[in-house]
Structure 1
Amino acid sequence: AAVRAAAAVELVHNFTLLHDDVMDRDATRRHRPTAWTVFGDADAILAGDALQALALRMFAADPHPASAAAATRLADCVMELCEGQHADTAMERRPPGEVTLDETLVMAEAKTGALLGCACAVGALYAGAATEDVEALDAFGREAGMAFQLIDDVIGIWGDPRHTGKPAGADLAARKKSLPVVAALTSGTPAAAELAELYTGPYDEKKEDLERTALAVERAGGRDWAQAQAADRMARAMQELARAVPEPEAAGGLLALAEFVTRRST
């Protein structure tokens, strides 16, 4: 009964990836060239627009009684995603010392937590769940999404490109203010000052630059903080899941999702 809804959420997910890659100028995703590098900016943007329209059309054509509420929730999610992406791109233009950890966390929830929360909430709507259970599953998804993003940021710096499908240290080379980086920058340590100096200058395309930058993030506590924060977020997610689905055997798929998020290395 929820296949249409699941497909609609995934279409929106891929719409955001197409647009994000254009804005971030990422050349690789999932071990393949990004759409804009193959077809150009205009076609990648238009393909993303079409995916979003198709997602809403799937809900509009769905006779399920929850389709209208789910479509509204997904539309609200898209607006939150746009808000998060706007905050992200705005932060990239600001000096390293002007970005706070709190605003970076808010941005990450809007960009990543919102979509996973929406996916879980839409599933609950299609299952006919009570309002409080829908909101608990939305909260579960948001917290799990934040854990996913924290681990994703760690992998983006220290992951193996053979598994990630992206060049090693691509976020550092682009001077992106990911969660571990901002945690490190705001740590008040000598390594934070070194990292801020590195982030103020352009990437010099030397391997030593990436190694120095990654080491500065680690020495300033960014990696440890992100991993601890991911564990904390997942613990919160499990509490929210228990509110909506008290019986563990009934939450098998969502528990598997939680395990994947916490154990992933790509």
Structure 2
Amino acid sequence: MSPAGTAEEAVGPEEAWELLERARMLTEPALRKAVARLPEPVRPLAAYHFGWRDADGDPAEGGWGKGVRGALALASARAVGGTAEQAVAAAAGVELVHNFSLLHDDLMDRDATRRGRPAVWARFGEGPAVLTGDALLVLAMEALADEPGAVAELCEALLVLVGGQGADLEFETRGDVRLDECLRMAAGKTAPLLSAACALGALAAGAAPERTAALRRFGHHLGVAFQLTDDLLGIWGRSARSGKPVGADLRHRKKSPPVVAALASGTPAGRELAELYLRGTGPLDDAGVRTAAELVERAGGRAWAEKEAARQRAEALAALDAGAPAPEGARALASLAGLITAGRER
């Protein structure tokens, strides 16, 4: 067993936030340099999305997210005996891909808010938002072009991500979604990029295949736990703190894992939720969203998602331990895992 491969030896949440901030400081110059290369019609929109410009193109102090995926890449390089600096291109690449996916997801899900501001599609239009997302994907491929095996790793992750997002859209028109396929959908939406981030960090540091594979598994299970935590925050979080529209998934009757677990519970609350959720096609009103959240909890959907997130987190830490990580990098990865699956907002 590695010296730092367990959650108990991870640093506390404040130190983990500091770890994320240091990773962001290391990654942001590469992101800014990449975005600066975009042509004029797209560059201001990308800068707006990242929080560097306001809607009028003037400098702004907004944030571009927690930078979790980039931080995982940097920490993974350290976990295999390399340095964070070796993985800056990998960190920038996965953050560019993540933000590409956010631009498209906001449009597909009709989420008008991102990071406390109007989403790009809501402020500038649907076509410009799609084009901006496409441009970020191109920048990501360019960032990773000189890294051995990196583009193939990322492309494999993207194919899984597309499958997960496609299933999410398909589920909106189905009333018979099973819990097992819902969990696969959730894994497909989030786990691929976290898994790729860890593998890319390891590859950048020249890790052996077995250590890269262990970190890839760590990222996969962490991604599932992260998505489940995000689903929980999407129902019971606070929009003012998370910057995301709480209740949006319920409003649009999306089949997230907590909802499907509740629908499959066989409980009176589950049957009542089905009556509310599966009949009708329009968005739920505010009262309907509140009722749906209460019914999901009463039917056990919240408890199931919390338990499954904890199980996936434990699987992630076991995979990390199996890769015999270097103590400092393992400590960082375990700390990040604890932070992003704890349901905390900041």
Residue 35 of structure 1 is matched in structure 2 by 120
Partners of 2:195 and 2:344 in 1: CA distance: 22
Aligned length: 258
* Residues 24 and 250 of structure 1, relative CA distance in 2, 3 Å threshold: closer
Partners of 1:20 and 1:240 in 2: CA distance: 30
Give the deviation of 1:247 after TM superposition. 5.2
Among 225, 242, 254, the alignment partner of 2:321 is 242
Residue 100 of structure 1 is matched in structure 2 by 178
Give the deviation of 1:192 after TM superposition. 0.9
Q: Does 1:162 align with 2:240?
A: yes
Residue 21 of structure 1 is matched in structure 2 by 106
- Aligned-pair RMSD on alpha carbons? 1.3
Give the deviation of 1:264 after TM superposition. 3.4
Among 5, 11, 20, the alignment partner of 2:96 is 11
Report percent identity of matched pairs. Answer: 53
Among 161, 176, 182, the alignment partner of 1:81 is 161
Q: TM-score, normalised by structure 2?
A: 0.72
The answer to which structure, 1 or 2, has the higher relative contact order (CA under 8 A, 6+ apart) is 2
Residue 151 of structure 1 is matched in structure 2 by 229
Give the deviation of 1:167 after TM superposition. 3.1
Q: Does 1:251 align with 2:330?
A: yes
Residue 69 of structure 1 is matched in structure 2 by 149
Mapped contact 2:194–2:223 kept (Cα < 8 A):
yes
Partners of 1:109 and 1:151 in 2: CA distance: 12
* Residues 59 and 167 of structure 1, relative CA distance in 2, 3 Å threshold: closer
Give the deviation of 1:109 after TM superposition. 1.2
- The unaligned stretches of length 5 or more in structure 2 are 1-85
Mapped contact 2:195–2:217 kept (Cα < 8 A):
yes
Residue 47 of structure 1 is matched in structure 2 by 132
Partners of 1:211 and 1:204 in 2: CA distance: 9
Among 292, 299, 305, the alignment partner of 1:226 is 305
Partners of 1:199 and 1:172 in 2: CA distance: 8
After superposition, what is the alpha-carbon deviation per residue over 1:73-104, rounded to whole angstroms, capped at 9, x for unaligned?
Answer: 00111111111111110111112xx1001111
Partners of 1:100 and 1:175 in 2: CA distance: 15
Residue 188 of structure 1 is matched in structure 2 by 266
Give the deviation of 1:259 after TM superposition. 1.5
Partners of 1:168 and 1:188 in 2: CA distance: 26
Aligned AA for 1:35?
Answer: V
Partners of 2:283 and 2:343 in 1: CA distance: 28
* Residues 38 and 203 of structure 1, relative CA distance in 2, 3 Å threshold: closer
Give the deviation of 1:246 after TM superposition. 4.7
Partners of 1:250 and 1:148 in 2: CA distance: 20
Mapped contact 2:252–2:284 kept (Cα < 8 A):
no
Mapped contact 2:253–2:284 kept (Cα < 8 A):
no
Q: Does 1:59 align with 2:139?
A: no
- The unaligned stretches of length 5 or more in structure 1 are none
Mapped contact 2:233–2:343 kept (Cα < 8 A):
no
Residue 216 of structure 2 is matched in structure 1 by 138
Residue 213 of structure 1 is matched in structure 2 by 292
The farther-off stretch of 146-155 and 242-251 is 242-251
Helix, strand or coil: the match of 2:244?
coil
More helix by share: 1
Residue 171 of structure 1 is matched in structure 2 by 249
After superposition, what is the alpha-carbon deviation per residue over 1:180-202, rounded to whole angstroms, capped at 9, x for unaligned?
Answer: 00111111111111111111234
Partners of 1:192 and 1:248 in 2: CA distance: 46
Give the deviation of 1:256 after TM superposition. 1.6
Q: TM-score, normalised by structure 1?
A: 0.93
Helix, strand or coil: the match of 1:265?
coil
After superposition, what is the alpha-carbon deviation per residue over 1:215-257, rounded to whole angstroms, capped at 9, x for unaligned?
Answer: 1100110000001111111000000000113554441221121
Give the deviation of 1:124 after TM superposition. 0.8
